[in-house]
Amino acid sequence: MNTFTDTLTSTPDHRAGFVNIIGNPNVGKSTLMNQLVGEKISIMTSKAQTTRHRIKGIVNGDNYQIVYSDLPGVLEPAYMMQKMMMRFVVDSLQDADIILYMVDCGEMKYHAELVEKIKSLGRPIVLTINKIDKYTEEQVAETEQFWKQLFPDADVLTVSALKGVHINELREKIIELLPLCPPYFPKDALTDRPMRFFVSELIREQILLQYKKEIPYSVEVVVESYKEEEDIIRIGAILYVERDTQKAIIIGSKGAAIKKLGSDARLSIEDFLQKHVYLDLSVKVLKDWRNSELLMRRFGYDEGER
């Protein structure tokens, strides 16, 4: 009987590698990730800082395996959670076989220290200019010229992640740049994250969509129970907020807001799991949790423990 180890040693021409997607907030990294993987791995909203964790999506072909990583947007951290989000970005540079640096068309803002760090690594860089469907050819050319000065050795591709434009060309370029290597994960793997993680992300996606101002950024979702029965999955999740006023907003008048949140999140989870779901949400106050390194570790913001 063949084992996974046997498979690794029997494919000397196999290519595999880690492709880490880096860029400023809200440039479309999660949308691109989902397009490249072919499944909804990362949640997507129009709000900046939607992605908090490093999320891997795995694509397999007969003679290749691509391990994509969607990462938080590059920013100047204002509190502990953002500092730990930026650690994901910096740490991801160390295991990257290919760095996919993503920018919006027309974008000229960059983090100079991070750019120099990326260039110093000597890894292949694929500069990906997104949202080309919204700009003229001249604007696309200007953007390409600006970023090509920063990354003179990079391969440059222009895409529309939302509409799927030039995604196949980008995928082919990535496969071309992959090193010869056996697969890192079983060939039927889609991600390295457990199901509870995706459930918590789908709940958080609805929070981002339904609440305004600071509320979505002050909530952490923790799936406390996940029980799969024959015809239904029973899920219990706690929404941690920092203040009593935030708890009141999450719940809403006579519980109307959290009822809608639970209903929409349940439908989203059912679509993802393809099974009936019973979802129970509760809200608890955990004061100033975003500035506590201990709580950050408890909530999984320490990449080194994964």
Find all residues with CB under 8 Å of 183, minimum gap 6, and list them: 7, 8, 14, 16, 60, 65
Return the pLDDT at 48: 56
| Alpha-carbon separation of residue 267 from 202, 229, 237 (angstroms) | 10, 18, 15
Residue 72 is classified by DSSP as P
Return the pLDDT at 183: 94
pTM of the model: 0.80
Q: Which domains does the chain have, with CATH numbers?
A: 4-177 (3.40.50.300), 195-305 (3.30.300.20)
Return the pLDDT at 78: 74
Return the pLDDT at 3: 42
Find all residues with CB under 8 Å of 231, minimum gap 6, and list them: 275, 276
CB atoms within 10 A of CB 183: 21
Return the pLDDT at 88: 77
Return the pLDDT at 297: 84
Return the pLDDT at 46: 56
What does the pLDDT profile of the chain (306 residues) look like in tens digits?
344 444 444 467 999 999 999 998 889 998 999 999 988 877 665 555 667 677 889 999 999 999 998 887 887 777 787 787 777 788 888 889 999 999 999 999 898 988 999 999 999 999 999 999 999 999 999 999 999 999 999 999 999 999 999 999 999 999 999 999 999 999 988 888 889 999 999 999 999 999 988 898 899 999 999 999 999 999 999 999 999 999 999 999 999 999 999 999 999 999 999 999 999 999 999 998 988 888 888 888 775 443
Sheet containing 15-23: give its strands across. Answer: 55-61, 64-70, 15-23, 98-104, 125-130, 155-158
